[in-house]
Amino acid sequence: MPQVENKFVRWNEKLHHPRERCEGTSQQFGQCPFCKIEGSSYCSRHGGFLIEQKRQKDSLRNYRLTKWKARVGTFADSDGIKSLREEIGILRMIIEEMLNKCVDATDLLLYSTRMADLVMKVEKLVVSCDKMEGKMGLLLSRSSVLQLAAEYVEIINKHITDASVIDVISEEMLQATVRSQQPETVAVGGSIGR
């Protein structure tokens, strides 16, 4: 951190207000003859520069926060803020790139520790994502999906009178539902959870 300039300005009762005088004292000379640093009660000699350094450091930190505040705001305002799916995708892409770099078994062994670590991170993210989506009501149970499919068939039944067409639509919807439900739950929007 750059050193604060130690400018000693001698306090003058004709030029300065009494509150501008350093509050430091010594036994030999009494109250300090210099002006205090702005924002402090003391001149540089009596430690006022420390307060100035802190003020400059805080100002720099505020600048850094301001610099990143817009980007943080973008993430915070995102509709998908509570979704970890993109992060899971990123980690899987990294694993894929590592595997693509492997030419032989030696390369695979060299990358094995890093890949194992990434696989564990993917697993943690998948579990967290599943829990989060479950709590937010984004996951449907198997029975809920079957109930929803039955309601769709009823809606179609109201508007189509040909029984053979309804049977074909019902069968195809049931097969699609069963295919999408290989795991225990299905994410809303058709993505498979777990």
Task: Give the model's pLDDT for residue 76.
Answer: 57
Task: Give the model's pLDDT for residue 153.
Answer: 77
Pairing of strands 25-26, 139-141: unpaired
**Rounded distance between C-alpha atoms, residue 190 and residue 157, angstroms:** 23
Sign of CA dihedral 142, 148, 154, 155: negative
- β partners of residue 10: 34
Q: What percent of the chain clears pLDDT 70, i.e. is strictly above it?
A: 71
Residue whose tokens read 């980007």: 71
**Rounded distance between C-alpha atoms, residue 117 and residue 127, angstroms:** 16
Question: Helix or strand or coil: residue 192?
Answer: strand
Task: Count CB atoms within 10 A of the CB of residue 176.
Answer: 12
Evaluate whether 32 touches 21 at the Cβ level (below 8 Å): yes
Q: Does pLDDT of 121 surpass 60?
A: yes
Q: Does pLDDT of 75 surpass 80?
A: no
Task: Give the model's pLDDT for residue 9.
Answer: 80
Q: Which residues contact 89 (CB under 8 A, 6 or more apart)?
A: none
Question: Helix or strand or coil: residue 187?
Answer: strand
Q: Does pLDDT of 104 surpass 80?
A: yes
Q: For residue 26, report the phi and psi dihedrals to the nearest 5 degrees.
A: -135, 155
Task: Give the model's pLDDT for residue 98.
Answer: 92
**Local confidence band at 130 (pLDDT 50, 70, 90 cut-offs):** confident
Residue whose tokens read 């803020």: 81
| Mean predicted confidence (pLDDT) in 67-78 | 64
